[in-house]
Copies of this chain bind each other. A is one copy, B any other.
Amino acid sequence: MADKFQRVCVIGVGLIGGSIAIKMRRLGLAEEIVGVGRRVGNLKDALKIGAITEYTQQVSKGIAGADLVILAVPVRAMPGLIESAAGYFQPGAILTDVGSVKAGLIKTIEPLLDPGVDFIPAHPIAGREKSGAKYSDPEIFQGKWTVITPAKSSSKKGIGRIKKLWLALGAKVELMDPRTHDRILASVSHLPHLVAYGLVGSLLAMDRKTPLLRLSAGGFRDFTRIAESSPEMWTDIFLENRKEILGALSEYEGELGKIKKWIQNGDSEKLL
């Protein structure tokens, strides 16, 4: 059974932050949940659906007295927020996050943390076509993977508590070192999105020369759907996980080059 927290602070009450909060509340795993964000309308939505019990726009006020702080903003916004929070963490508080790129983030954040803060990085791999607290869904993590990527400073006890929390939220949990996580996600998630953006981009360019998209068949429509995800989030991810993505992209270019050669040579056996 997961431990109960007294006061949880969720920084960034979007689809993921809101879904964690509402499920924790329903499970009785948090006495109070304070939401921190910039847009008051969104925070009011979160309050109305019962995801949070109060809100503030000030990070320092939000984390004061919290025994669990959950960072659920885009990866590149995380270091700035942690800097502005320095000096306000409750001693012994657990800090966790939901960022989809881990190694670089951990390296940046660890030196900024107040002493006594137990940082347990994590990444729930869950769909995110929509954004905003009002789309919060307590079942969004059900059966999905959450990867916990411990930092050097993460305590065993803290890792255990965050693991139990994610299991309670319905996720399957795996522990992995941050670099392995980033390499795997570069392949199974970041590269497919990059490939889809590339394809849609080149088709739009060709369409300007010869109108062709009206004849588009099933294959292409799947790509446009993939490429419709938030451009801000994906720009962040492409840059944060640059090294691993470029590695996966090289593998892919090699594979594409092979297929190209088989087509050029008319090698039907290899193509098959």
Contacts and interface: CB of A to CB of B under 8 A. Distances in A.
Contact of A216 (B188, B235, B248): B188
A173 to B, nearest CB: 12
Contact of A271 (B184, B205, B239, B263): B239
A88 interface: no
A201 B245 CA distance: 16
Copies of this protein in the complex: 2
Interface stretch (A60-68, A135-143, A219-227): A219-227
Nearest to A202: B255
Given A145-B215, A183-B210, 12 more contacts: A183-B212, A187-B206, A191-B199, A193-B219, A198-B252, A219-B226, A235-B271, A238-B263, A239-B271, A242-B263, A242-B266, A253-B253
Interface residues on chain A, size class: 35 or more
Q: Which of A199, A205, A245, A268 has the most CB of B within 10 A?
A: A199
Contact of A189 (B219, B239, B245): B219
Interface of A: 125, 127, 145, 147, 174, 180, 183-185, 187-189, 191-199, 201-203, 205-206, 210, 212-220, 222-223, 225-226, 231-232, 234-235, 238-239, 242, 245-246, 248-249, 251-256, 259-260, 263-264, 266, 268, 271-272
* Majority secondary structure, A binding face: helix
A145 to B, nearest CB: 6
Nearest to A174: B215
Contacts of A245: 263
A189 to B, nearest CB: 5
Complex A-B, nearest 9 residue pairs according to Cβ-Cβ distance, in ascending order: A192-B219, A202-B255, A184-B212, A188-B216, A198-B256, A202-B252, A235-B271, A189-B217, A201-B255
B189 A220 contact: yes
B259 A198 contact: yes
Contacts of A199: 191-192, 195, 252, 255
A213 B197 contact: no
B210 A188 contact: no
A105 B263 CA distance: 17
A270 B194 CA distance: 14
Contacts of A214: 145
A147 B215 contact: yes
B222 A226 contact: yes
Nearest to A231: B272
A156 to B, nearest CB: 24
A204 to B, nearest CB: 9
